[in-house]
Amino acid sequence: MYFYAARQPILDKNKNLIGYELLFRDGVDNVFPNIDGNEATTRLIEGSQFNFGIEDLTDGKPAFINFTLDTLVKGYPTLLEKNTLVVEILETVQPGKRLLAIVKELKNNGYTIALDDYIHQPVWRHFYPYIDIIKIDMLTSDKETLNLIINDLKLHPHIKILAEKVESLDVYNYALELGFDYFQGFFFSKPEMIKSKALPPSEIALAELLYETSTVDITLEKIAEIFARDVNLSYKLLRYANSAAFIRHEKINTIKQALIALGINEIQKFLSLLFTAQISAEKPTELIRLTLTRARFLEKLALYHGEFKETGIAFLTGLMSLMDAILDENMEKVMLKLPLSNKIKTALLNDEGLLAKYLNLVKYHEQANWSAANEIAKELNLCEKVPVAYNEALSWTNEQMKLMTNLS
């Protein structure tokens, strides 16, 4: 499953990039799908939260995103950082007291606000003190209308005027002469398609649970709360807790009962198995096997080394170390998507820290680079434990691969 979007650059008078308008797409065709504005905005924001991250979509520049009245009322703009977003109020939104109150609140909270495809009405003057950018369609606006808008805005010099649908050099030069500040259109660039493998909310919840169970200060309430947000996860937890792998005198009926009965080690095992199975459903079985083996191998090394109070963080480092191959994306983008500790991210992105040493030892072992593996093993005083840890990891992985079919 993939998430699709398009972006179109917005430039200043000197043709410097100042941001991108983000446009929702539902497939490889670079056209707006047959859905309403509410759904398009909702899915675009969801995608930026769970898949890309706004910074990936816009190379660190502000994202211009369309908002309907309904999505404004629901407070969707505040799901994104104010420094990464320009809130575009769609032309279908009618000016009124309700909208004005929302605009004032967003402005007070530091958000940049634009009026999209602006249609001039005197009532909009009440909004001018809170508006930063006005976007004008150059294909539908005649000279008289343009002059009227520009004259009206002379009393509000803080408002920048953006020329939309600049399709030719003549239109660009005309907008320049009129005093437009920003420009957007096919003359500069058609919308560029961007695609990313989607991480549904259930997989984000799983990653969050893996993180929570790998921390030193584990709280049962926090873990139970995350499970409660996803019915499917809760069902699978109860199914796992009541499976034949455990001898139960009574059936477990609640999330809290399941968590207490399983204990932290079994919960970590269950979560890692489920996460790997879901996220790598379309990948070769051997990639799943390698991921689980690497995770368990790292955990065992950390256990024998004795430097971590909770070795779950080592397990999670190993589990995440192949996510770039599983998601077909570079590790930097993967790390932006997942709620992981800085120690794990430092190990995977910068090759720094004790976790990175464990991981390098495991990688060298996989590659049969015995001299490099032994060098790290000696440094960590783990020479005798490496083969033991590896054999234990293989045995554990074989058990998990058998269990995996029962959880699907």
pLDDT at 348 > cutoff 90 = yes
User: Per-residue pLDDT averaged across 118-139, rounded?
Assistant: 89
Those residues with Cβ within 8 angstroms of residue 67's Cβ, 6 or more apart along the chain or in another chain: 41, 76, 77, 87, 88, 89, 90, 93
Write down the pTM of the prediction. Answer: 0.49
d(CA 7, CA 94): 26
How does pLDDT run across 51-98, given as a tens digit for each residue? Answer: 455 665 677 788 888 888 888 888 878 877 788 888 998 888 888 899
pLDDT at 355 > cutoff 90 = yes
User: Per-residue pLDDT averaged across 220-245, rounded?
Assistant: 72
- Residue 373 confidence (pLDDT): 92
How does pLDDT run across 262-314, given as a tens digit for each residue? Answer: 777 677 767 776 777 666 666 677 788 888 889 889 999 999 999 887 787 88
How does pLDDT run across 194-209, given as a tens digit for each residue? Answer: 555 555 555 666 766 7
- Residue 162 confidence (pLDDT): 93
DSSP secondary structure letter of residue 316: H
Poorest-confidence range of 88-92, 337-341, 352-356? 337-341
Query: What does pLDDT average to over the chain?
Result: 78
Take residue 308 and report the two structure tokens written for it. 């971590």
- Residue 35 confidence (pLDDT): 44
**Which has more pLDDT, 18 or 58?**
18
**Which has more pLDDT, 240 or 130?**
130
For the chain, what percent of residues have pLDDT higher than 90? Answer: 21
**Fold type of domain 201-407:** Hypothetical protein af1432 (1.10.3210)
Place of tokens 């993967």: 334
- Residue 406 confidence (pLDDT): 58
**Which has more pLDDT, 107 or 276?**
107
**Which has more pLDDT, 145 or 279?**
145
Direct distance between the N- and C-terminal alpha carbons of the chain, in angstroms, rounded to an integer: 17
Please state which CATH number belongs to domain 2-197: 3.20.20.450
User: Per-residue pLDDT averaged across 43-52, rounded?
Assistant: 51
Q: What is the DSSP string of 287-327?
A: HHHHHHHHHHHHHHHHHHHT--S-THHHHHHHHHTTHHHHH
- Residue 193 confidence (pLDDT): 47
User: Per-residue pLDDT averaged across 20-37, rounded?
Assistant: 50
Place of tokens 């003057």: 125
Q: Locate the domains of the chain by residue range.
A: 2-197, 201-407
Those residues with Cβ within 8 angstroms of residue 313's Cβ, 6 or more apart along the chain or in another chain: 214, 215, 302, 341, 343, 344, 355
pLDDT band of 29, cuts 50, 70, 90: very low
Poorest-confidence range of 19-23, 134-138, 329-333, 400-404? 400-404
Take residue 361 and report the two structure tokens written for it. 């030892």
d(CA 318, CA 294): 5
User: Per-residue pLDDT averaged across 157-165, rounded?
Assistant: 91
* Residue (of 268, 266, 315) closest to 295 by Cα position: 315
pLDDT band of 28, cuts 50, 70, 90: very low
* Residue (of 374, 271, 369) closest to 320 by Cα position: 271
pLDDT band of 383, cuts 50, 70, 90: very high
